Structure 1
Amino acid sequence: MTNKAFSNQREAALALLNGGYRLTRKAGQFLGQIAVDPAPMSEKQSDWLAKLLERFELPPLAKGGAQ
């Protein structure tokens, strides 16, 4: 995968969901929700997404990418 930051939460969530990573059911539900819901993420949601991206060595969400 490229080192380019994800431009929005949908791209980041779909990369995690489609990447074949071993996710918990709770993480999968969270990622599915932020992939389809354009509402801004809360600070806690942003932190969780950042941790998931880091755990699976994916690029971060671009600054301002949390719609």
Structure 2
Amino acid sequence: MAERAFPNHRAAALALLNGDNHLTRKAGQFLGQLAVDTTPLSDAQADWLAKLLERAELPPVAAGGAL
């Protein structure tokens, strides 16, 4: 069964922070910001989040997953 995509970047960030993932301090700070900030992501932020999700073997953020 395919995993469902996260509905928005906040949900994805919280999953990464609450999971058993090895995160750098910089990645943790980035994810903490995403968890509380509802502004749209820049392309660079979206790419970094996608890489962190892929590395943790988690599903991506849904297309158009804005808050």
Instruction: Tell me the TM-score normalized by structure 2.
Output: 0.93
Q: Secondary structure at the match of 1:30?
A: helix
Gaps in structure 2 of 5+ consecutive residues: none
Instruction: Tell me the TM-score normalized by structure 1.
Output: 0.93
Give the percent of matched residue pairs that are identical in Structure 1 and Structure 2: 70
Aligned residues: CA RMSD: 1.2
Distance in 1, matches of 2:54 and 2:66, equals 16
Aligned to 2:28: 28
Aligned to 2:45: 45
> Could you tell me how far 1:20 is from its partner in structure 2?
1.8
> Could you tell me how far 1:49 is from its partner in structure 2?
0.2
Gaps in structure 1 of 5+ consecutive residues: none
The Cα offsets for residues 6-63 of structure 1, whole Å up to 9 and x where unpaired, read as: 0000100000000021100000000000110000010000000000000010000000
